[in-house]
């Protein structure tokens, strides 16, 4: 690893948007830098552009790849499978096409769920996990996302793009910030997500993605039933204390459930800590990489963990009590599955 004085300078202009056709679909991605690979995965409705404030810093020491997930940004938006498992498969194939065998994964929100699923499906290709305000832990999620999962969501999203509605939603966002609410911390970024859905194909892909992970009751996938497999996988959890999309208590649940994980809380920050405090975010990620070794995965150890099952239980038997202890009041976890 180069010393601080030898870091390669990377300007925003060096971060290029490129395209690669995989399985007949055009996939967009931003890339910059040289060195060990680091993959940045954005959240639902977002794109690789969300990382532009931190890519130059990370690219001083890494080959950074930030894809637009299928159905998002400049990538194609087919009528397709938008589950987290499908996204993990697509990421594997994109990285294969780019000649990247292993990488540290940094995932935000939905991207955190995709990162965890990738590590579950392809542990031999995962060096570390950095999970930022990640989904896939508890049931709770912002009520607006639950509402968009209902029938008629396309009409609702279309209405939000109308000139009159844009003024009203921005006035509402201004009011939430003025009142210093948790939602006010995230309102500007969330409104940008609405602006990123300019046409019917983008809205359709967004709704398909959302319904794969959220329904009217909340999140419908979890990693807690198999997170004991993360033993030996260096993992850092980053969260804002005032996250209005995924509550910060999910951070403590995930930390308790993931052996050896590191937890860092951004005080007073919402769902996008890398927007609010990019310098602090970069410092934590660089320190995490510097102080951990890449995961040393082996099929034998994986088999041992599977046979032993979750801690405190007989292998192969349900462990509802453990789920309740980990998630506290999130009792619906055992109904959900990340696959």
Catalytic residue IDs: 109, 243, 271
Q: How far is the C-alpha of 61 from the C-alpha of 33, rounded, in Å? A: 7
182-195 vs 163-178: helix axis angle to the nearest 10? 160
38: left (phi over 0), alpha (psi -120 to 50) or beta: beta
- Contacts of residue 152, defined as CB under 8 A and 6 or more positions apart, other chains included, come to none
- Contacts of residue 167, defined as CB under 8 A and 6 or more positions apart, other chains included, come to none
**Cβ atoms < 10 Å from Cβ of 301:** 14
Contact 118, 88 (CB under 8 A): yes
Strands 126-132 and 214-215: unpaired
Tell me the sheet residues that pair with 265.
Answer: 239
Q: How far is the C-alpha of 332 from the C-alpha of 339, rounded, in Å? A: 16
Burial 70-103 (b: 16+ CB within 10 A, else e): bbbbbbbbbebebbbbbbbbbbeebbeebebebb
Cα separations in angstroms, 9 against 37, 59, 108, 223: 17, 8, 25, 37
**Cβ atoms < 10 Å from Cβ of 112:** 29
């Amino acid at each position: 690893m180069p010393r601080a004085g030898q870091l390669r300078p990377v300007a925003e202009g060096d971060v290029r948007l490129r395209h690669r056709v995989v399985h007949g679909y055009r996939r967009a991605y931003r890339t910059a830098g040289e060195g060990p690979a680091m993959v940045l995965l954005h959240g639902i409705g977002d794109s690789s552009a969300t990382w532009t404030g931190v890519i130059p810093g990370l690219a001083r020491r890494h080959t950074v790849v930030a894809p637009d997930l299928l159905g998002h940004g400049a990538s194609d938006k087919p009528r397709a499978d938008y589950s987290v498992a499908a996204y993990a498969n697509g990421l594997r194939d994109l990285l294969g096409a780019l000649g990247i065998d292993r990488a540290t994964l940094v995932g935000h929100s939905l991207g955190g769920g995709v990162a965890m699923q990738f590590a579950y499906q392809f542990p031999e290709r995962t060096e570390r996990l950095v999970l930022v305000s990640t989904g896939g832990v508890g049931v709770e999620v912002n009520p607006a996302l639950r509402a968009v999962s209902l029938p008629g969501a396309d009409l609702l999203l279309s209405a939000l793009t109308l000139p009159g509605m844009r003024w009203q939603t921005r006035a509402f966002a201004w009011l939430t910030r003025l009142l210093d609410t948790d939602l006010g911390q995230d309102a500007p970024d969330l409104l940008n997500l609405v602006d990123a859905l300019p046409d019917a194909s983008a809205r359709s892909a967004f709704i398909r993605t959302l319904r794969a992970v959220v329904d009217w009751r909340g999140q419908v996938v979890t990693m807690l039933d198999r997170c004991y497999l993360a033993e030996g996988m260096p993992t850092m959890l980053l969260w804002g204390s005032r996250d209005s999309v995924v509550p910060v208590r999910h951070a403590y649940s995930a930390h308790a459930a993931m052996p050896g994980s590191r937890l860092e809380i951004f005080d007073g920050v919402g769902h996008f800590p890398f927007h609010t405090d990019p310098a602090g975010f970069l410092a934590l990620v660089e320190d995490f990489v510097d102080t951990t070794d890449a995961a040393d995965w082996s099929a034998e150890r994986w088999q041992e963990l599977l046979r032993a099952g979750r801690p405190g239980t007989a292998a192969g038997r349900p462990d509802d009590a453990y789920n309740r202890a980990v998630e506290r009041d999130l009792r619906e976890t055992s109904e959900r599955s990340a696959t």
